[in-house]
Structure 1
Amino acid sequence: MIAQTPEPPYYAVIFTSERTEIDDNYGVTADRMVELAKQQPGFLGVESARNAIGITVSYWADLEAITHWRKDIEHTIAREKGRADWYRVFKVRIAKVERDYGFEK
């Protein structure tokens, strides 16, 4: 589902990853991280897709909200598990969204 974001500016955190073969409750943890992120101040929405490369984009009101999310203890534990088991490689990019537009039938 495409996130319904407000008028720009706002921020996007783009998480791109390649998984290992280890599952160990990955899906449960990923779902929990989305639910937890939704509870954070400044959270605006999320979009995610996974094939050979996984891409998750979360949207935030400001950089302070992103920093607050990064420091969340449960999110920190999940990141450590990701580094240890779930990801072969990942990249995080933070971008300021200055324009957005779309189309809907």
Structure 2
Amino acid sequence: MNMLAKTSIQPPYYAVIFTSVRTEGDGGYGEMAERMAKLVADQPGFLGMDSARAGIGITVCYWDSLESIQRWKEIEEHRVAQTLGQREWYKSYRVRICKVEMEYGWDFAAP
């Protein structure tokens, strides 16, 4: 069952929204995406992630601070993935960083 990310802190916190259009073929993308998901989960300040792909890929990572986001951007293995993405995996992408001021939601609880 797919679950939405549940952050461990109350707002405010930050969201990095990565939207992309992929090139054809895998070319190692799937393996790297799995590796990045594991690596990011171990980073200080990481709060959770939501991701979907249907034509346009959207991944939203939640962070406790702008400093945590910057540290993640500078990790060598992540930098390699960024370079490969620009060279091989993406036709286009955008990164947007937002401050989350409010959060609310609902989860269905089966009887």
Q: TM-score, normalising length from structure 1?
A: 0.97
Give, as a single letter, the amino acid of the residue that structure 1 aligns with 2:90: Y
Are 1:66 and 2:75 counterparts? Answer: no
**Alignment match, 1:2:** 4
Aligned to 2:58, the other structure's residue is in SS state strand
Q: 1:85 aligns with which of 56, 74, 88?
A: 88
1:27-42 matched pairs, under 5 angstroms: 27-42=30-45
Supply the distance in 1 between the matched residues of 2:4 and 2:67 (Cα, whole angstroms): 24
Give 1:22 deviation, angstroms: 3.5
1:31-50 per-residue CA deviation (whole Å, 9 max, x = no partner) reads 11111001110000001000
The one-letter amino acid paired with 2:28 is N
Verify: 1:51 aligned to 2:51, yes or no. no
- In structure 1, runs of 5+ residues without a counterpart are none
Aligned residues of 1:22 and 1:85 also touching (Cα < 8 A)? no
What one-letter code is carried by the residue in structure 1 that aligns with 2:87? A
The unaligned stretches of length 5 or more in structure 2 are none
Identical-residue share of aligned pairs (%): 54
Which residue does the alignment assign to 1:96?
99
Distance 1:27 1:4 in 2: 24
